Structure 1
């Protein structure tokens, strides 16, 4: 029994040393508007024996297949490392994305103390679109009785943190609160919440939300979503 336990422990140790704890936490998919940037939320972990190797010599690389598309050690306009590798934060912003950049990417860590690792098991697929995403209105329909307190939320993805979308929601109905929120995968979404009390004068009124996306060249593109209030 003791011998079997010893063999099991040795096997576990060998498995850990070979593969166990190298991992990244990144989104599976991010959609981004062509001409804008994309911020990839990223955190990673290494085997326990390598944790002391995380120092100022480390650099972050992002690769697609075998092509390096970003190197944090090389000054460039393609993007910048937003996270701190010593804190296991590999969050990175890539600039001026184009449709031809619609690919899968993975993170690579390189340090001068022989710590070099491709994190291929988890990759992020970046989808670059020529048109911005349509904002979401929640609820999607508004059919309530007069006197009902209504909370209507408009939301739009914010893949480029330096250029989040600007939301314009029908403001004549009541008070609006705006915020930048985080999804479970750490991607961001811009939200605007309209709170008002339903009245007969609102019946048949169109409520719209427009998301304006600012590209890195200074131009803009917008998308809208609307609904018609049904007040009984």
Structure 2
């Protein structure tokens, strides 16, 4: 029975720009063509002046496509082909006899012999932070960190730069269309030493990928307002002596 898998190709340029389909649903035993184009600064080069390399995830030495066949990892030999013309800035790749363990992510690298090299690599979803702008000394404060992912069997782990287990609550939920969300709630009572502190939420994904987001905490001194009324009791009842507003 054939199964379909999604190749994750979230590729972002480190030194230039690239365009690629981010998700492709593939039928196992079939083939897949991954559309890809790229840019680089300077004068346009011919195909013979460029070397395009596709590799697996963070393993830069694990080539799934290389012009030198001897450098391609064993399980991809004879199954990958650069169908795009590098001279036209097209890095489209074909994979035949697709297998269930071919699910990526994949990264593209362009090399200019005697010149610069550019990498287009996997970029994880960045966590989103939700919080009140104002935090008050001595009053409970909460920050929510969330990230969307596509692998429910290996949930991303969200960690904070501060706070113990008793201050962190984590929830998981499906949001439909093959996507899931992890939410982490950090609650604490800030003090004066927390003012201007950076708080970071890091997302650690299966396979070693990670990303993070941070916020700068501004703690204000709590202003307490008391309405004070003083009474004196006499035989005729309470006598109103004074009322005042007290502020700290």
**TM over 0.5, yes or no?**
no
More helix by share: 1
* Higher Rg of the two aligned structures: 2
TM tier relative to shorter chain: 0.3 to 0.5
Point out which structure has higher relative CO (alpha carbons under 8 A, 6+ apart): 1
Greater strand proportion: 2
TM-score, normalising length: structure 1? 0.44
TM-score, normalised via structure 2 length: 0.41
